[in-house]
Structure 1
Amino acid sequence: MSSYPPDGPPQTTLRQRLADLRGPAVPPRPLDARALAALAANPGCGRRALLDGAGVDKTALAAALGSPAAFGQSQFAIVRGNSFEARVKGDGGAELLRLTHARLGGGAEPPGPDSRVPDLTAAGPEGRAARTALALREATAAGTWTLLDHPMLALEVAGTPAYLEPDAVVVHPDGRWTVVEIKSFPMIDGAADAAKVGAAARQAAVYVLALEQTAGKLEGARVGHQVLLVCPKDFSNLPTAALVDVRRERAVTRRQLERLTRVEELAEGLPQGLCFDPARPAAELTEAVSAVSAAYAPECLAACELAFHCRERARDAGEPAALGRSVRGELGGLTTVEAALAAAAGAGPCTGTDPDSDPTAAALREAARLRAEALASAAARPPYQAPETPECPC
């Protein structure tokens, strides 16, 4: 039984435990909104929750395990994105404020010379988050257009604080706060790639959740459910903007983050001496990673650096989830691929006195019979012969 009080272990003890898991000489890797959105999409994965909570560099860990994954933007895309963002925020953010007023201004006066861009410089993420909260409070009280360039927001995730840095937050004269996402993919004829817009919406929903925690402490402040997506117009470098409603993404992300197991609960059940330092031998790291439960699904390949390692282990264990969450759900009580194949071959649980005792196994057996009949019918047909082409009379 744990000797911790009901509200969990002391924070200093938890921090030391997470530092030991990460490696004494390894600095923590901060969480960002993209990682939180991916974590919320798979709340049952204790492995990702623990590694992200401990600040483990999963890219380096995957490489040390022998299953590296290529994630992130190319250097060209990063340079192009930085150049476009600098253009959007140039001249004191005048263009960005103009776009915000054009899309979300309502009856407010357009931004003028009294618009503010406060300095958010401070020491460390905690200091920057406190400075951002102060700037938001002052801007809301002042009642003027204010642009916060790369503010720092705090959001508690699985019992540990995560510090997030959106591209910008605009404070309206009426006290409304709007998250701004600046992306380098083009918006052609007023529309952008749906998949990229969806990813941006999920990322922005995390920022909205973090802002709501701060807004709840201020009278007259509220966070808009529409975020401003700024992209290059057509094939130029000129900025254009569109509104993206993130209420659905916000609700899903909030529900999933609330389902995450607290990091201290995950860390408490691990053996002493466990460490995820990428400098350790691969065999030791494999054993350490296997000590934490995972919930692999093919969707992880697009969002998690450890996905290839987890996929290999899931395949070795014959987990149906390796074929997709829908397959795992359809198989019901058949918890391995081997059990499903045995049921399809007639050796499963429906071979007793009651052939319909397991509907899933019976359905698999029927599907196997139909497949065998189709293959036999195809094999019995004569091979296809293409018709002869008549010779050209010329």
Structure 2
Amino acid sequence: MSEDPNGAAPAAPALRQRLAQVRGVSVPPRPLDARALAALAANPGCHRRALLDGAGVDKPRLAEALGVPSGFGQSQFAFMRGHAFEARVKADGGAELLRLAHACLGGGPAPDSGGEVPDLAAPGPAERVARTEEALRKAVGRPGGWTLLDHPMLVLEVAGSEAFLEPDAVVVHPDGGWSVVEIKSFPMLDGSADAAKVGSAARQAAVYVLALEEAAARLSGPLGAAPAVRHRVLLVCPKDFSNLPAGAAVDVRKQRAVTRRQLSRLTRVEELADALPPEVCFDPDRPAAELLHAVESVPAAYAPECLSACELAFHCRERARSAGDVTALGRSVRGELGGLTSVDEVLAAASSLPDTGEGGDPGAEATVAALRRAARLRTEALAAAGAGTPDRGPGCR
């Protein structure tokens, strides 16, 4: 595998040069990670995010330059606490982590102590991928023991380019199975954690499972058969409000299937780059007016869910609201409104008179009828509330 000097995914020289022009030649590329890929899979119709992530654009700096900073990121205290918890979980050859893996996932006899922890250090991401796959091959060829891969490097092809991914850990069980481990700092209270946070962790782990499956497929020749990549991942969190680890098995088959399907629908990054005017560049040091033109030259698909997943979400929300786009109200509302794509169209339909003609679209007619009924009920409710509320006079609050 060829490699960009800054650690970006391999690409043909012409494409790599074009993406550097889009990103800004002096701006080092930001590598794709599992969190970004999970967000891409959740919104595959957003060409803006697909291009910016594929080109390695520095979206946090871009958002600041546009005057709509994202505010993403952990506090320094939370970051240090998370690292301390992860170090505790992996101490002594990962003895506690392997105990949790056996208790939650099985896969062979219980570990007596820590397992094999191979050295995966290498100078670049491509070399780390090779070192990881070599460690996996040796672990499967040495049955009967537990192996812990601490921060291995995996690779996954997305939209014609390769993303290097670094899970917290991968466990090789004595029976030869491979399991992804996600270590999070949110607590597990009485054996359960916040459902939204677990769902986010599951989507992220599903990306790692896909990448691990590709590694297994590449190793199926030397090993004789593709190793079993488990679709139940190990989630490790602090127990209650302590620093003691607790584990839970999370089935990510649904998230894996959805992620694979959505990632396959992404337009290839070279197609998006070729569609741009040659002068478009997302270098955050450029004037704000030029950056705004560059961002608006790539179509976006905003939804409220983007606020928790994309650094440019506040900018896209502002533009969607100013354009009266109903997607700013959520995907469910957008789906219910059918062909009505703007707030003005919705208001006009709600205040229109019934159509006595025939031959119209039944679906559209039902939507308009529902809007008229909702408008009528709202008017009646406001009238009733106004009639039952005494006038407290001007200046009253």
With normalisation by structure 1, the TM-score equals 0.90
Pairs aligned (count)? 373
Q: 1:374 matched to which residue of 2?
A: 381
Aligned partners of 2:217 and 2:226 also within 8 Å: no
* Matching residue's letter, 1:119: D
Distance 2:66 2:226 in 1: 51
Distance 1:340 1:124 in 2: 54
Distance 2:22 2:253 in 1: 36
Q: 2:44 matched to which residue of 1?
A: 43
Secondary structure (helix, strand or coil) at the match of 1:223 reads coil
Aligned partners of 2:33 and 2:163 also within 8 Å: yes
Structure 2 counterparts to residues 1-394 of structure 1, below 5 A: 11-106=12-107, 108-112=108-112, 115-143=115-143, 144-217=145-218, 218=220, 219-346=225-352, 353=357, 358-359=364-365, 360-383=367-390
Q: 1:48: Cα distance to partner?
A: 0.3
Distance 2:357 2:90 in 1: 74
Aligned partners of 1:47 and 1:294 also within 8 Å: yes
Aligned partners of 1:356 and 1:362 also within 8 Å: no
Secondary structure (helix, strand or coil) at the match of 2:164 reads strand
Distance 1:321 1:189 in 2: 38
Pairwise CA RMSD of aligned residues?
Answer: 2.0
Aligned partners of 2:32 and 2:165 also within 8 Å: yes
Q: Deviations over 1:113-171 (max 9, x none)?
A: 79311110112111111111111111111123111000000001111100110000011
Q: 1:389 matched to which residue of 2?
A: none
Q: 1:222: Cα distance to partner?
A: 1.3
Which 5+ residue runs of structure 2 have no aligned equivalent? 1-10, 393-397
Q: 1:5 matched to which residue of 2?
A: none
Q: 1:392 matched to which residue of 2?
A: none
Q: 1:38: Cα distance to partner?
A: 0.9
Distance 1:188 1:377 in 2: 46
Distance 1:206 1:286 in 2: 32
Judged with a 3 Å threshold, the aligned counterparts in structure 2 of structure 1 residues 147 and 371 are, in CA distance, closer, same or farther, namely same
Q: 2:4 matched to which residue of 1?
A: none
Query: Higher mean Cα deviation, 311-320 or 46-55?
Result: 311-320
Aligned partners of 1:355 and 1:362 also within 8 Å: no
Aligned structure 1 segments of 4 or more residues deviating by more than 6 angstroms: none
Secondary structure (helix, strand or coil) at the match of 1:216 reads helix
Aligned partners of 1:180 and 1:230 also within 8 Å: yes
Judged with a 3 Å threshold, the aligned counterparts in structure 2 of structure 1 residues 170 and 356 are, in CA distance, closer, same or farther, namely same
Q: 1:376: Cα distance to partner?
A: 2.0
Aligned partners of 2:232 and 2:249 also within 8 Å: yes
Q: 1:326: Cα distance to partner?
A: 1.5
Q: 1:247: Cα distance to partner?
A: 0.8
Distance 1:382 1:272 in 2: 62
Percent identity between the two aligned chains: 70
Judged with a 3 Å threshold, the aligned counterparts in structure 2 of structure 1 residues 366 and 238 are, in CA distance, closer, same or farther, namely closer
Distance 1:323 1:142 in 2: 55
Q: 1:91: Cα distance to partner?
A: 1.3
Aligned partners of 2:302 and 2:320 also within 8 Å: yes
Aligned partners of 1:40 and 1:256 also within 8 Å: yes
With normalisation by structure 2, the TM-score equals 0.89
Secondary structure (helix, strand or coil) at the match of 1:142 reads coil
Secondary structure (helix, strand or coil) at the match of 2:81 reads helix
Secondary structure (helix, strand or coil) at the match of 1:122 reads coil
Which 5+ residue runs of structure 1 have no aligned equivalent? 1-9, 386-394
Q: 1:32: Cα distance to partner?
A: 1.0
Judged with a 3 Å threshold, the aligned counterparts in structure 2 of structure 1 residues 384 and 249 are, in CA distance, closer, same or farther, namely farther
Q: 1:188: Cα distance to partner?
A: 2.0
Q: 1:356: Cα distance to partner?
A: 6.7
Aligned partners of 1:62 and 1:305 also within 8 Å: yes
